[in-house]
């Protein structure tokens, strides 16, 4: 499997942020991670009535998408992700419990490569 490209990563007290390549492959991989760790649905398919159409994030530009977690009333560790789409990159911010964000980073490290900035 080809690793996704990460151009920047940061950790703050309440959230983590990432600058990631904007590709269909990155969307598929990150959607699975977000659902598996935070229970956040970053849809791969847009179901409109009877028709299902694959979502192509590469067409999103200058656009913000809020992704909230799917939690029951008993669960108090609700997470949220925000995705800001640029021309060739996307900026993702994840708010949630520290242990879940740490787990996300550990899994992300295995499936990505950090791209050093050009000097």
CATH number, domain containing residue 98? 3.30.160
Domain that holds residue 36: 4-114
Q: 60 lies in a domain?
A: yes
Q: What is the pTM of this model?
A: 0.82
Model pLDDT for residues 28-56, shown as the tens digit of each residue? 999 999 999 998 888 765 555 555 556 77
Residue scoring higher pLDDT (82 or 68): 82
Q: Give the chain as a DSSP string.
A: -PPEEEEEEEE-SSEEEEEEE--HHHHHHHHHHHHHHH-B---SEEEETTEEEE--GGG--SEEEEEEB---TT-----EEEEEE-SSEEEEEEES-HHHHHHHHHHHHHHEEEPPPP-
Residue scoring higher pLDDT (61 or 21): 21
Q: 34 lies in a domain?
A: yes
Q: 119 lies in a domain?
A: no
* Counted domains in the chain: 1
């Amino acid at each position: 499997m080809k690793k996704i490209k990460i151009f920047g990563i940061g950790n703050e007290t309440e959230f983590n942020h990432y600058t990631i390549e904007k590709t269909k492959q990155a969307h598929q991989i990150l959607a699975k991670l977000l659902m598996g760790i935070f229970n956040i649905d970053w849809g791969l398919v847009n179901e409109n009535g009877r028709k299902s159409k694959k979502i192509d994030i590469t067409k999103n530009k200058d656009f913000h998408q809020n992704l909230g977690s799917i939690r029951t009333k008993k669960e108090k560790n609700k997470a949220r992700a925000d995705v800001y789409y640029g021309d060739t990159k996307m900026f993702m911010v994840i708010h949630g419990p520290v242990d879940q964000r740490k787990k996300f980073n550990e899994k992300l490290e295995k499936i990505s490569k950090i791209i050093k900035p050009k000097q």
